[in-house]
């Protein structure tokens, strides 16, 4: 307990009067000397105690000194502290540096400071400055004995330390930090460390530098510490680390994190003999949502989906967002394969639940690819590639599906990639060109037009049909360039035919994949301008699947194309969803009855008949595709079908042969 002279009354200081060194009591709250012995009055150059008591020490006291005094007061209260400090007094304005011992004393119920002067320090100016610097610096300087207990703390250190009597080891939260620093000191006589430290402000990050030295007072070997609070820096660093490893939108770990943490998890699972499964989840119609509803709704959808995934996965698996609409999950458990399949199905169900976005109900599905660690593969990059390939296989299989990786998927992907590169090269070298299949008037048998069908004159493999490359063009986006290329060739050819007196029309296929591309119409018009071809000589063929979305963009594009003068045909009619209702809603001109219905003629004619009747009602013209036999043509004639294409007349031909046929 701090010495307490009396609870309330003025204590009797007469004993202190006898001391030969200066002693005074400083009233911290009042900022004045409360009592002083004779020696102290001399020291302070005061005529009497009354004179000294009159002096208001608080007025020109610096804020840092005032704060220090308040802290000393609290320390006296809590720890009964006692310490010495060099202290510069300014009796009547002239400085005198004394070594003073401070302790707490309770006077009239309040904690005051008992100051015992231990002598004047005869310091040269340089040392004095240094001592002052030590007093006022914000760096924490402390000295500890060999036993690790504190010998000295400068005011900044005293202000921060939670328990002034604590040794340096006790202040470090992690005992391993103490061991580390000790090892450095043993080896080099000095050490440096960033550690969690207990302070009055709670746990903080301090950078500590310690070195062995000699205590100048006792001559004993001791440790000199300097410390800086670097918590803010550390927090900024932690924040940067978090940001580098997390996706800010969903708060999920990101790709950067996956590459490190998932690799470590895979390696650990392998060491424990645990099977693993990596699940690659991709939302199916996300791009559509993003494009049609805007990015902010796209973001909302992603957040909702990631919440669903988090809820589903819980602590069972590790979940990360790779970017875009791709998520990755890692499972490591005994029955990883069946667990992964079950989880994938649960994910599919969870994702498929409708989402409300801006008052609209939106539904997306998920394709999931799974890589099982059966073959002992533990490299995260390889496992991710496998899961990714399996996910693509699921998409290929019609989306909203789950697939496990098999080695064949890898081979197919490699083959596709090399094909894609070859297509690029082929496009550069002008190896793609249209062949023309005659479109024949059923009644007269005259050739009235042609369909331009792309062929690839491959330098090694010879002539290739669209089935060998169209799907890769669509996946890679090359289809846009290919379609425009064929359109340009056809327009150029048609202008030439027209100039030579053949009043033909030409049909050109357009892939659904690029149909709503904003520059489609301008691009087509520019080609017409360059070739001198007219839009109303050309029919654009699109597939039924395009109309199913019933979205505004498709309708707008179709309307614009129609207004520009192009005829529009639905290709392969009847093979898609055959929702006849939508036909009315779009500005179409022609239906092409799919070959599969024609091939059944004349025996099985129900569907062909229905389609022809429908076209009559909707005032659409009809083209029958794939007519190979005379009996089929006879039936079509009987139904007053307008035109046909098929091997009965001719397959698609190069220009020269097509012209011979025209003649
Ligand atoms: P499609 O537009 O329905 O073209 C008709 C396909 O049926 C052509 O196949 C044609 O050669 C074939 N065919 C025509 N008459 C008969 C017949 O009597 N019997 C049989 N068995 N087949 C017949 P091809 O040329 O292999 O084209 C296949 C598909 O590739 C086309 O189907 C079309 O969807 C697509 N395609 C062709 N050229 C292009 C193009 O320039 N751009 C795009 N995006 N797709 C194209
Ligand atoms: Mg076609
Ligand atoms: Mg067709």
CATH number, domain of 542, equals 3.20.20.450
Q: State pLDDT tens for residues 150-181.
A: 888 888 888 888 888 889 999 999 999 999 99
291/254 same-domain check: yes
Range of the domain at 438: 425-662
Label residue 332 by pLDDT band (50, 70, 90).
very high
In a domain, 8, yes or no: yes
pLDDT of residue 347: 95
Q: Of all atoms in ligand 1, which is nearest to the CA of residue 465? A: 26
Boundary (domain end) residue, out of 235, 270, 298:
235
Q: CB neighbours (10 Å) of residue 620?
A: 18
What is d(CA 56, CA 29) in angstroms, rounded to the nearest whole number?
A: 11
Burial of 555 (0-12, 13-18, 19+ CB in 10 A): middle
In a domain, 412, yes or no: no
CATH number at residue 183: 3.30.450.20
Ligand 1: distance of its center to the CA of 470 in Å? 11
In a domain, 654, yes or no: yes
- Nearest ligand to residue 507 Cα: 2
Q: State pLDDT tens for residues 421-477.
A: 999 999 999 999 999 999 999 999 999 999 999 999 999 999 999 999 998 998 888
548/508 same-domain check: yes
264/143 same-domain check: no
Structure tokens at 401: 């599906």
192/153 same-domain check: yes
Q: Per mean pLDDT, which range of 19-33, 48-62, 276-290, 570-584 is the poorest?
A: 570-584
pLDDT of residue 7: 45
**Average pLDDT, rounded, for the chain:** 88
Ligand 1 pocket test: pick from 427, 435, 466, 540 the residue with the most ligand atoms within 8 Å of its Cβ: 466
In a domain, 111, yes or no: yes
Q: What is the largest CA-CA distance in the chain?
A: 140
User: Stretch 509-525: mean pLDDT, rounded?
Assistant: 90
Ligand 3: distance of its center to the CA of 595 in Å? 7
In a domain, 415, yes or no: no
The residue ranking higher by pLDDT, 612 or 3, is 612
User: Stretch 234-238: mean pLDDT, rounded?
Assistant: 83
In a domain, 414, yes or no: no
528/549 same-domain check: yes
CATH number at residue 388: 3.30.70.270
Angle among Cα 74, 75, 76 to the nearest 5 degrees reads 90
Boundary (domain end) residue, out of 98, 116, 133:
133
Neighbouring residues of 236: CB distance < 8 A, sequence distance ≥ 6: none
Structure tokens at 344: 């994938």
371/430 same-domain check: no
454/595 same-domain check: yes
Ligand 1 pocket test: pick from 453, 507, 595 the residue with the most ligand atoms within 8 Å of its Cβ: 453
In a domain, 410, yes or no: no
pLDDT of residue 577: 52
Angle among Cα 244, 248, 250 to the nearest 5 degrees reads 125
Helix (H) or strand (E) holding 502: none
In a domain, 241, yes or no: no
Ligand 1 close to Cβ of residue 509 (< 6 A): yes
Label residue 217 by pLDDT band (50, 70, 90).
low
Domain count, the chain: 4
55/115 same-domain check: yes
pLDDT at 592 exceeding the cut of 80: yes
Helix (H, G, I), strand (E, B) or coil at 296: helix
Ligand 1: distance of its center to the CA of 464 in Å? 12
User: Stretch 11-30: mean pLDDT, rounded?
Assistant: 89
Ligand 1 close to Cβ of residue 647 (< 6 A): yes
362/300 same-domain check: yes
- Nearest ligand to residue 437 Cα: 1
Cis amide bond preceding 20, omega within 30: no
What is d(CA 264, CA 464) in angstroms, rounded to the nearest whole number?
A: 47
Residues 263 and 369: beta-carbon distance below 8 Å: no
Q: Of all atoms in ligand 1, which is nearest to the CA of residue 645? A: 15
356/429 same-domain check: no
180/121 same-domain check: no
pLDDT of residue 1: 45
Boundary (domain end) residue, out of 82, 107, 133:
133
- Nearest ligand to residue 464 Cα: 1
Query: What's the predicted TM-score (pTM) here?
Result: 0.56
Alpha helix positions (H), 432-469:
none
Q: CB neighbours (10 Å) of residue 31?
A: 15
11/148 same-domain check: no
């Amino acid at each position: 307990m701090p010495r307490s002279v009396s609870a309330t009354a003025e204590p009797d200081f007469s004993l202190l009067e006898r001391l030969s060194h200066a002693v005074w009591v400083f009233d911290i709250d009042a900022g004045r000397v409360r009592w002083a012995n004779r020696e102290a009055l001399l020291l302070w150059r005061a005529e009497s105690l009354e004179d000294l008591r009159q002096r208001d020490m608080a007025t020109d006291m610096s804020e840092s000194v005032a704060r220090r005094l308040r802290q000393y007061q609290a320390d006296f209260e809590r720890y009964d502290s006692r310490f010495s400090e060099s202290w510069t007094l300014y009796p009547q304005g002239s400085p005198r540096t004394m070594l003073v011992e401070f302790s707490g004393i309770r006077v009239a119920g309040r904690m005051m400071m008992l100051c015992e002067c231990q002598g004047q320090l005869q310091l040269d100016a340089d040392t004095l400055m240094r001592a002052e610097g030590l007093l006022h610096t914000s760096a924490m300087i402390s000295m500890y004995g060999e036993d690790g207990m504190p010998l000295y703390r400068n005011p900044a250190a005293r202000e921060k330390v939670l328990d002034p009597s604590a040794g340096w080891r006790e202040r470090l939260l992690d005992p391993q930090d103490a061991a580390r620093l000790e090892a450095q000191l043993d080896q080099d006589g000095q050490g440096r460390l960033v550690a969690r430290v207990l302070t009055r402000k709670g746990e903080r990050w301090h950078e500590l530098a310690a070195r062995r030295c000699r205590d100048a007072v006792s001559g004993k070997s001791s440790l000199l510490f300097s410390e800086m609070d670097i918590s803010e820096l550390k927090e900024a660093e932690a924040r940067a680390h978090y940001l580098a490893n997390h996706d800010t939108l969903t708060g999920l770990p990101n790709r950067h994190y996956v590459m490190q943490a998932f690799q470590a998890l895979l390696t650990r699972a392998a060491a424990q003999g645990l099977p693993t499964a990596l699940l690659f989840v991709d939302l199916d119609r996300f791009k559509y949502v993003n494009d049609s509803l805007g990015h902010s709704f796209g973001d909302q959808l992603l957040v909702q989906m990631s919440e669903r995934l988090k809820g589903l996965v819980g602590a069972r698996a590790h979940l990360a967002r790779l970017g875009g609409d791709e998520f990755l999950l890692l499972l490591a458990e005994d029955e990883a394969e069946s667990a992964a399949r079950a989880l994938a199905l649960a994910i599919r169900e969870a994702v498929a639940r409708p989402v409300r976005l801006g008052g609209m109900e939106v539904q997306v599905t998920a394709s999931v690819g799974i890589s099982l660690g059966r073959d002992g593969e533990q490299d995260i990059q390889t496992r991710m590639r496998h899961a990714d390939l399996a996910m693509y296989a699921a998409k290929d299989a019609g989306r909203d599906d789950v697939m496990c990786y098999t080695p064949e998927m890898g081979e197919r992907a490699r083959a596709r990639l090399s094909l894609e590169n070859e297509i690029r090269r082929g496009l550069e070298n002008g190896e793609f060109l249209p062949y023309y299949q005659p479109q024949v008037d059923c009644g007269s048998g005259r050739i009235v037009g042609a369909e331009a069908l792309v062929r690839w004159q491959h330098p090694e493999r010879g002539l290739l049909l669209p089935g060998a490359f169209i799907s890769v063009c669509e996946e890679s986006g090359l289809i846009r360039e290919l379609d425009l290329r064929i359109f340009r060739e056809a327009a150029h050819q048609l202008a030439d035919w027209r100039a030579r007196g053949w009043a033909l029309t030409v049909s050109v296929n357009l892939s659904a994949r690029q149909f709503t591309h904003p520059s489609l119409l301008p691009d087509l018009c520019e080609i017409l301008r360059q070739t001198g071809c007219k839009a109303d000589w050309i029919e654009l063929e699109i597939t039924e699947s395009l109309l199913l979305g019933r979205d505004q963009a498709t309708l707008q594009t179709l309307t614009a194309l129609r207004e520009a003068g192009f005829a529009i045909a639905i290709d392969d009619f009847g093979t898609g969803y055959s929702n006849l209702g939508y036909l009315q809603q779009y500005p179409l001109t022609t239906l092409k009855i799919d070959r599969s219905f024609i091939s059944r003629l004349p025996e099985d004619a129900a569907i062909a008949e229905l389609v022809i009747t429908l076209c009559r009602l909707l005032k659409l013209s009809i083209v029958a595709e794939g007519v190979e036999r005379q009996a089929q043509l006879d039936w079509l004639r009987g139904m007053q079908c307008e035109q046909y294409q098929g091997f009965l007349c001719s397959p698609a031909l190069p220009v020269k042969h097509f012209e011979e046929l025209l003649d």
